[in-house]
Every structure is written in C-alpha cells, then in structure tokens.
A = this chain, B = another copy of it.
Amino acid sequence: MNQLISKRSTFYYYRSILWFFLFSSLSVVANARSIDSLPSWNNGSTKSAIIQFVKNVTKKGGADFVPSAERIATFDNDGTLWCEQPMTVQLAFALDRVRAAAVEHPEWKTTEPFKSALAGDMMGVMASGDHGLVEMIMATHTGMTVEEFNQISKYWLALSKHPKFKRPYTELVYQPMLELMSYLRANGFKTYIVSGGGVEFMRPWTEKVYGVPPEQVIGSSIKTKYELIDGKPVLMRLPEIDFIDDKEGKPVGIQKFIGRRPIMAFGNSDGDLQMLQWTTANNAPHFGLLVHHTDAEREYAYDRDSDFGRLDKALDAAQKNGWTVVDMKKDWKRVFPFEKP
C-alpha cells in the first residue's frame, strides 16, 4: 500500500509540473484578455465602438475579418495625438528659430511675417497667410543637412516648455490615444502617423513617445538634394516645398507612402476630412474617428472657429456618415500621462 501511495504521489507531482508548463502560456493569454487595454477611456459608446470594431476585424472566420497585413491605422498628430493649442508645436519652434536667426537678418525687423514673429504676435504671422508661413518655414527649416535639422529640432524639443502646462511638449500627448495605439498594435495593426506637420520634425521622437518608428511617419516635406561634401554624402534641405500632407494631400500621402488604404483613421480637424473619407470608402470594414476637444479645464475646448485644428466640415461629415466622435470631457478619464490615474 505504501508503494502505491508513493507511486501515485510521484505521478501527481510530475503531472502537475507538466500541466504547469503546458498551460502556463494559455493562462497568460486568459489574463491578458481580462485586463482593460483602454483604462483611460470611460465606458460608453465610444469605447465600445472601438473595441467592437477591433474584435470584428480580428475574429478569424468572421464576416468582417481583415488579415493582419491589411490592418493599417492612420493617426493625425497635432490635436489627435498631442496638444496643438495655443499654437502647433512646430509653429512655436519656427518662431523661436526666427528669433535665434534674427541677428543675421536685420531686414526681418520690417518684413512680414518675420516682424510679427519677432514681436511674438502670432495673429500677425497668421495674417500673412499660407504664403507667409511657407516663407518662415523656408527661412528656418532649410539650408542645412537632414541630420543637422534633426539635431536642432530634438534639442529645441528637449529644452522647450508649453506655456500653459509648463512641461515639455512631448509630455503633452494624450494618454487614451497612446493606449489606443498600443491596443491596435497588440491586435496586429500597423500604426502610422499622417500629419500636416513636417516629417523630419516628428521622426526623431515618435518611436520613443508613440512607439511609431520613423518609417511609419508621413508628413509634409521640403525637397532635399544628395551631395558629396569633402567626399562625404549628405542630404541638403532645399528652400522648396516637396509635399503638403494636409487635407486632399492626406489620401495622396497615404497612397504614396503606404500603398494600401487604411481600415481605421483618426483625426480631429477639417485637415483630416479627406483621410476619413478615403478610409471609410474602403470596401473592407472601416472605422473613422474624430477627437472633439470639449475640455477647457483639463486641456482646451475648440471646434468650428479655431485658428488651429478647426473642426467644422469634418464634424458635419462625421454626423452624416456615422463616424465616431470622441467627446474629450466625457470619454477620457485622463487626458495626459502625468495626470494621476
């Protein structure tokens, strides 16, 4: 009898170890499923709509299944992933660059948009229109190599702070959107940034901040030229616009750089209207979402009359087409990562 007990206990002992090895991986999966992947989103129709769509397109054999390779999600940057008020971060950068270079350009004291830029008069800069903005970008973003520009913009971002929040701009990213991007990637999506901002202004930090590598960043660009300087190859930034990745430019940029139509697109302004049209006209299952800034207390509240990130036509289109609209105040439990959960 003793022998039998001994045999049995040995048997149960080893069987339990085997079960542990065989099923430990399964239990990890089960645990992951029970964790909320979007903890900074309040429960409600917005959060449910996102989760339901992702469940549908990832369910093998389901009517809405989309293979992983075709799960492309595109995100606008300014106002969708990080704060764009009281002005876009890149405009703040350009104004600082004008101030830094002013000593070499005495003529700027009397020429717009530089005169307004030096006076810190943003509305004066805006009054010179697209032409003035382009001129300011050309004067401050070109005439150096791509590597030099990346160093300058990285350095500026490391030292500059937002006027309201007194924190580096790269901390003013939206926690719910960070969670959303991670959640999509965990479900086999490839996440892209498709921004009107300059591509080389974003690339040095998007991987660290958003988990989006440089090759998945699409933006506006200026022309570059390949040159050998003392036998060393460089790419010089020329004072000439290459591509404007805004409005009608967004679907053009998506096709140019990705060559596939997204099945999910996320924006917050009229600059994203065409990207959402293009995405939600996909024959495959599709999902369009707009972030509506409704929270003057925790961030900003703006839409139809805003100078930056105007949301007017796109809001009408969202209502007409049934796109999901995030009510920031209602849908987001936290706005920024530095807020307590």
> A215-B258, A215-B259 are contacts. A233–B281 as well, Cβ < 8 Å?
yes
A251 and B226 within 8 A (CB): yes
A237-270 interface bits toward B, Cβ cutoff 8 Å, 1 = contact, 0 = none: 0000010000011011001111110000000000
A285 in the interface (beta carbon within 8 A): no
A98, chain B: closest CB distance, angstroms: 26
Give CA–CA (A69, B208) in the complex, Å. 12
> A11-B10, A21-B21 are contacts. A226–B252 as well, Cβ < 8 Å?
yes
A17 in the interface (beta carbon within 8 A): yes
Give CA–CA (A217, B7) in the complex, Å. 62
A277 and B233 within 8 A (CB): yes
- Can you name the residue of chain B whose Cβ is closest to the Cβ of A217? B259
A148, chain B: closest CB distance, angstroms: 13
Say what secondary structure dominates the interface of chain A.
helix
A204, chain B: closest CB distance, angstroms: 9
Q: For residue A6, which residues in chain B have a CB less than 8 angstroms away from its CB?
A: 3, 7
| The one of B215, B224, B251, B252 that contacts A260, using a Cβ cutoff of 8 Å | B215
| The one of B214, B224, B258, B274 that contacts A233, using a Cβ cutoff of 8 Å | B274
A146 and B255 within 8 A (CB): yes
- Can you name the residue of chain B whose Cβ is closest to the Cβ of A150? B259
A224 and B255 within 8 A (CB): yes
A251 and B233 within 8 A (CB): yes
A221 in the interface (beta carbon within 8 A): yes
A166-191 interface bits toward B, Cβ cutoff 8 Å, 1 = contact, 0 = none: 00000000000000000000000010
Q: For residue A292, which residues in chain B have a CB less than 8 angstroms away from its CB?
A: none
A213 in the interface (beta carbon within 8 A): yes
A259 and B226 within 8 A (CB): no
A203 in the interface (beta carbon within 8 A): yes
> A232-B281, A252-B225, A281-B233 are contacts. A257–B257 as well, Cβ < 8 Å?
yes
Q: For residue A87, which residues in chain B have a CB less than 8 angstroms away from its CB?
A: none
A259 and B18 within 8 A (CB): no
Q: For residue A235, which residues in chain B have a CB less than 8 angstroms away from its CB?
A: 251-252, 255
A115, chain B: closest CB distance, angstroms: 34
A22 in the interface (beta carbon within 8 A): yes
- Can you name the residue of chain B whose Cβ is closest to the Cβ of A248? B226
Known A214-B260, A215-B257, A215-B259; further 14 A-B contacts with Cβ < 8 A: A6-B7, A10-B11, A14-B15, A18-B18, A190-B215, A199-B259, A215-B258, A217-B259, A221-B256, A224-B256, A226-B249, A226-B278, A233-B251, A233-B277
